Amino acid sequence: MARLKAASVLIVQFLSQAPALQYQLIQEYNASNIFEEFNFFNGSDPTGGFVQYVPFDVAANTQLIGNGSDQIYLGVDSSNIYTPGGPGRPSVRIESKLTFTEGLFVIDLLHVPVGCGTWLALWTTGLSSWPADGEIGIIENVNDARSNNAAIHAKGECSVLDTANQTGTWKSTDCIINHDDNQGCGTVFTEPASFGADFNTNGGGVYAMEWTSSSIRSGSSPLPDSDTFGAPSASVEGPCSASFGEKFFNHSIVIDTTFCGGWAGGTFGTGTSAYPLKEGLGSLDSCVDYVASNPGAFTWGV
Ligand SMILES: *[C@@H]1O[C@H](CO)[C@@H](O)[C@H](O)[C@H]1NC(C)=O
Ligand SMILES: *[C@@H]1O[C@H](CO)[C@@H](O)[C@H](O)[C@H]1NC(C)=O
Ligand SMILES: *[C@@H]1O[C@H](CO)[C@@H](O)[C@H](O)[C@H]1NC(C)=O
Ligand SMILES: *[C@@H]1O[C@H](CO)[C@@H](O)[C@H](O)[C@H]1NC(C)=O
Ligand SMILES: *[C@@H]1O[C@H](CO)[C@@H](O)[C@H](O)[C@H]1NC(C)=O
């Protein structure tokens, strides 16, 4: 069940921010262009996952990716058994060639990867000098979680107001990279079906992230209609926003599915509802063993 299936990713840039936000479409990624407009990262996983990120040719030849019927698929290997001591299960990590500073990012998804050992992330970040140019997580969570987690990470002092108008629940209001185990200032969405199996059962939904010079907000909706978004699930505003221009700029869009690593591995089988305890499991090593030896857990089926 470790596939990401999307209809489109739209980037909308602001024509003006005052007195009211006005938008114009500046970039659309869909089945026709996403594999030309994104690079396939093929190095070792910067997040320490049990994964081999494969180049475009390998991904296409082994059916890890697809782009028919106006839909985009990004999958993982679900056929082979791997050695726990080896590099890991094949997957893809793609990074937009264009970079963006501010804008409205709308992502129409039909399915997200889910299940023990998986760690999906759809985020924006600068690739040349990470972490100097910041990171904005839009869609992210691990294992069997059913709530989205949106977190921003900044270099240097960057705290935000916990009184922001958001419906989600703060995990931390300290956004500094490397503080608090690197969790950034993250919010867990409270609306149902914002991630995981429930999101997929609903037939997916639309995420939006609005990045202006003074705030970063995100939310999800089961319908592709921004009027239904209401208050944001996550809203990051001052005091850090005074220096947003120095902390967040020139971001590529990155989409990846990795396995285990610090987050999915660290919480694997810990017995909470999001990370159910499987018999005999419950550690980073057992996450790697599970992912290495259970290709059938990562098929493309719903
Ligand atoms: C897909 O994106 C391309 C490039 O932006 C655009 O020209 C085309 O109309 C889009 N296709 C659909 C079906 O939206
Ligand atoms: C799929 O992607 C390839 C590579 O970018 C492109 O040449 C092809 O036209 C795309 N197919 C569809 C149906 O959009
Ligand atoms: C791997 O990534 C590097 C850096 O983007 C690129 O130059 C190289 O062509 C890629 N390798 C393959 C086999 O695609
Ligand atoms: C919070 O956001 C919602 C939706 O944008 C808006 O209707 C409401 O007035 C806001 N509340 C506050 C206290 O700003
Ligand atoms: C962002 O990228 C543009 C174009 O490459 C460059 O001119 C600009 O200096 C970059 N911004 C920062 C803050 O580095």
Ligand 2 center–CA 67 separation, angstroms? 6
Atom of ligand 3 nearest to the CA of 39: 5
Residues 87-112: tens digit of each pLDDT: 999 999 999 999 999 988 989 898 99
DSSP state of 132: T
Residues 214-242, mean pLDDT to the nearest whole number:
77
Which residue, judged by its Cα, is nearest atom 1 of ligand 3? 42
* Residue 59 belongs to a domain: yes
- Ligand 3 pocket, mutate which of 36, 39, 42, 45 (most atoms under 8 A from CB): 42
- Max mean pLDDT range (29-38, 171-180, 268-277): 29-38
Tell me the CA–centroid distance for residue 71 and ligand 1, in Å: 11
How much is the average pLDDT of 211-238? 78
Beta-strand ranges (E) seen in the chain are 4-16, 22-29, 38-40, 51-53, 65-66, 72-74, 89-91, 93-96, 103-111, 118-125, 135-142, 149-153, 169-170, 185-188, 205-211, 215-221, 234-237, 252-259
Give domain status of residue 294, yes or no.
yes
- Is position 63 within any domain? yes
Model confidence at 136, pLDDT cuts 50, 70, 90, reads: very high
Residue 55 covered by a domain: yes
Ligand number nearest CA of 44 is: 3
Residue 193 · residue 201 · CB < 8 Å: yes
Name every protein residue with a CB atom under 6 angstroms from any ligand 1 atom: 28, 30, 32-33, 70
Residue 88, in any domain of the structure:
yes
Distance, in Å, from the CA atom of 243 to the CA atom of 96, rounded to the nearest integer, reads 25
Which residue's CA is minimally distant from atom 12 of ligand 3?
55
Give residue 202 CA to ligand 2 midpoint distance, Å: 28
Task: Report the CATH number at residue 79.
Answer: 2.60.120.200
**256-300 pLDDT tens trace:** 999 998 888 888 876 665 555 555 554 556 889 999 999 988 886
- Which of 32, 91, 89 lies closest to 255 in space, CA to CA? 91
Reported confidence tier of residue 227, pLDDT bands at 50, 70, 90 = low
Q: How confident is the model at residue 251 (pLDDT cuts 50, 70, 90)?
A: very high
| Domain around 223 | 12-127+192-229+255-298
Predicted TM-score (pTM) of this structure:
0.91
Structural domain contains residue 184: no
pLDDT of residue 274: 55
pLDDT for the residue 302: 46
Pairwise pLDDT comparison (231 vs 179), residue with the higher score: 231
Q: Which residues are catalytic?
A: 135, 140
Which residues fall within 8 angstroms of residue 225, CB to CB, at 6 or more apart? none
Q: What would the mean pLDDT of 122-141 be, rounded to a whole number?
A: 90
Number of domains in the chain: 1
Question: Mean pLDDT in the chain?
Answer: 85
Q: Which residue has the higher pLDDT, 270 or 125?
A: 125
Q: Which whole number is the average pLDDT over 14-41?
A: 84
Asked whether residue 175 is domain-assigned, the answer is no
**What pLDDT was estimated at residue 14?**
64
Q: Would you say residue 165 lies in a domain? A: no
